[in-house]
Amino acid sequence: MAFLGEVAPVPYWQRHPKKEIEALLGEFHESGWKILNPPRYYTVRCPCGDHQRSIHLTPSDPNYVKNAYRWLRRQDCMKGEAT
Ligand SMILES: [Zn+2]
């Protein structure tokens, strides 16, 4: 059985048409983060509940996705639970 991309099958959040942003949301999900659907942007909230940020639907910065991955790894609760 094959699924498109590396994102978990049947994500509970609203799919993003842009593949790289959908993959970013998948990465947050895999790390145990909660993804809240947009009215205007997604909100991601970490497992400990202290960290959150918004993920814009149409980021104008070409490095936006890369920076968001970097931001995710910088969070304290992510460092603590690294395997
Ligand atoms: Zn946290």
Report domain extents, the chain: 19-78
10 Cα–ligand 1 center, Å: 25
Sign of CA pseudo-dihedral 47, 51, 56, 59: negative
Report the distance separating Cα 73 and Cα 44, nearest Å. 14
pTM above 0.75, yes or no: yes
Domain 19-78 has CATH 2.50.20: no
Letter string b/e over residues 7-33, b meaning 16 or more CB atoms within 10 A of that residue's CB: beeeeebeebeeeebbebbbbbbebeb
54 Cα–ligand 1 center, Å: 14
**pLDDT tens sequence for the chain (83 residues):** 445 555 555 589 999 999 999 999 999 999 999 999 988 999 999 999 999 999 999 999 999 999 999 999 999 899 865 45
